[in-house]
Amino acid sequence: MPPTVLVATRGKIFHADKGCPGLSWYKDLVEIAITEIGVQRPCYRCYPDAPRAKTVRRYCQVCKGKTIRPCRHNGGVLVSFPVRLGKRTLTSEADDTYTRTRWVWPEHAARY
Ligand SMILES: [Zn+2]
Ligand SMILES: [Zn+2]
């Protein structure tokens, strides 16, 4: 069994401790496996060593995108990751990979 954490069902933060002041507003707590954490971030009180994943997401006046997206001008981080080509084409073998790059928020860079 993986370790479990506490989340409020509509909360975006997960906690280690039932008595955490950050949980006092919530009544609908659930315990989930640490492997089931999705969008939730660690609570800063319960996990003081966790990286502070709070980035100011600014709209980029240079790229002028339709939505606020990370880019080189607003604190985005360029990550590269291998992508497997699914099927054989004229120029590549079935198990070829190529490297893609994209801009992500710093707190997401660790996933790549
Ligand atoms: Zn907490
Ligand atoms: Zn930009």
Judge whether residue 13 has pLDDT over 80: yes
Pairing verdict, β 41-42 and 13-15? parallel
Task: Give 2 Cα–ligand 1 centroid separation in angstroms.
Answer: 19
Ligand located closest to 63 CA: 2
CA of 109 to the centre of ligand 2 (A): 17
Identify the band that residue 95 occupies on the pLDDT scale cut at 50, 70 and 90: low
| Within a domain: 47 | no
Within a domain: 27: yes
Same domain (yes/no): 23, 63:
no
Is the residue at 28 inside a domain? Answer: yes
Could you list the residue range(s) of the whole structural domain that residue 76 is in? Answer: 55-112
Residue 105 maps to a domain? yes
**Residue 24 Cα to ligand 1 middle (Å):** 9
DSSP string, 19-68: T-GGGTT-S-EEEEEGGG--S-EE-TTT-TTS-------PPPTTT--SS-
- Per-residue pLDDT tens digits for 18-75: 888 888 878 788 888 888 887 788 888 888 877 665 567 888 999 998 888 999 998 8
Instruction: Tell whether 8 and 37 lie within a shared domain.
Output: yes
State the Cα–Cα distance between residues 48 and 42, nearest whole angstrom: 9
pTM of the predicted structure, to 2 decimals:
0.43
Identify whether 80 is part of a domain: yes
The pair of three-digit structure tokens given for residue 34, joined into one six-digit string: 């640490």
